[in-house]
Structure 1
Amino acid sequence: MSRTALLLLLLCICSSAVGFTVSLPPQDLSKTTVYEILESYGFPVGLLPEGVTGYDLDESSGKFSAYLKGPCVFSPRDTYQLQYEPTISGTVSLNHLSNLSGISVKVLLFWFDIIEVQRSGDDLEFSVGVTSANFPVDNFSECPQCGGVYCPSSGGRED
């Protein structure tokens, strides 16, 4: 066996013994939509309204921010009101969104900040701190639309 081959074999053995991993180049986030990112973490695209203008994601920590042109309020299925601020942020991991800010839900007369979303099978659990509610994942298969926000599916017009 040549010295080079022996050196490479020794290097492989040593690096595996210390837990050495080869990391691939990071994925090009500029070509991936925020909706595709959501899906890659196990969430449906409908957690965010159409019209996200950009986002930041630190893949090592999961910290993210998504940006809208302005605040967005809508009532899914005419049941309750949701409000998105121009900046939505939090931490994402597989089937779990935590430390959320920028999303609120109106229950009766009061607004509550949604601070966490967890996926468990075919359900999403939304937590506002003191209580939580479960909804089927299928309820979020399509992105809601807000007035005043650019919606890609509307052919590029402003609503």
Structure 2
Amino acid sequence: MAPRSLEPIFLLMIVVVSVVPVTVKAAYSSIHEVLKSHGLPAGLFPESVKSYNLDQRGVLEVHLDRPCMAKYENRVLFETVVRANLSFGHLKGLEGLSQEELFLWLPVKDIIVDDPSSGLILIDIGFAHKQLSLSLFEDPPICRSQGISMKMAGRKSIGFQDQR
């Protein structure tokens, strides 16, 4: 039996623990595990991810050592920092990711997997949506710098120059 002087403290601890919500953040060892736990394929980000941060609001920030290019169906450019709002099956409001379409580099806005059993992933590039096979994104791609400047500030920064 506990001494009488400890009983009020013990009761107070029980009340506090039962009233105060406890938030447990799952510990993920990699960005690829984070993606899988949110219903997305592990290969959406390259294997060379240096670090990532996922805050309580679902804002995901992925850091790479340098900008790089990977290939899925088309070529994709990752900036040094890629940001998005992460929820189950969705990466919304992406920043720092562009995809090559018909010789143009277009920003990827959203990546959505509504129904994993369909085997499809939806890539939203603003004015168009593209459905691709989820199998293209199973494994993290190798991302290479390819010796090009990829500041992504405009066409000139990725090798295009205005012709006058």
> TM-score surpassing 0.5?
yes
SS in 1 for 2:94: strand
Aligned residues: 130
SS at 1:120's partner residue?
coil
Q: What is the CA–CA distance in structure 2 between the aligned matches of 1:70 and 1:41, rounded to whole Å?
A: 26
Q: Does 1:62 align with 2:61?
A: no
Among 115, 124, 143, the alignment partner of 2:109 is 115
Hey, what's the Cα distance between the residues in 2 that align with 1:24 and 1:87? Answer: 27
- Deviation of the 1:83 alpha carbon: 0.5
Q: Which residue of 2 aligns with 1:157?
A: none
Give the residue type in structure 1 aligned to 2:25: P
Runs of 4+ aligned structure 1 residues displaced above 6 Å come to none
Q: 1:78-157 alignment to 2 at 5 Å?
A: 79-121=73-115, 122-147=119-144
Which residue identity is paired with 2:67? P
Separation in 2, partners of 1:142, 1:97: 17
Match of 1:25 in 2: 24
* Structure 1 position 108, deviation (Å): 1.4
User: What are structure 2's unaligned runs of at least 5 residues?
Assistant: 1-7, 146-164
Query: Larger C-alpha radius of gyration, 1 or 2?
Result: 2
Q: Give aligned-pair identity as a percent.
A: 25
Give TM-score, length-normalised by structure 2: 0.71
Root mean square deviation, CA, Å: 2.3
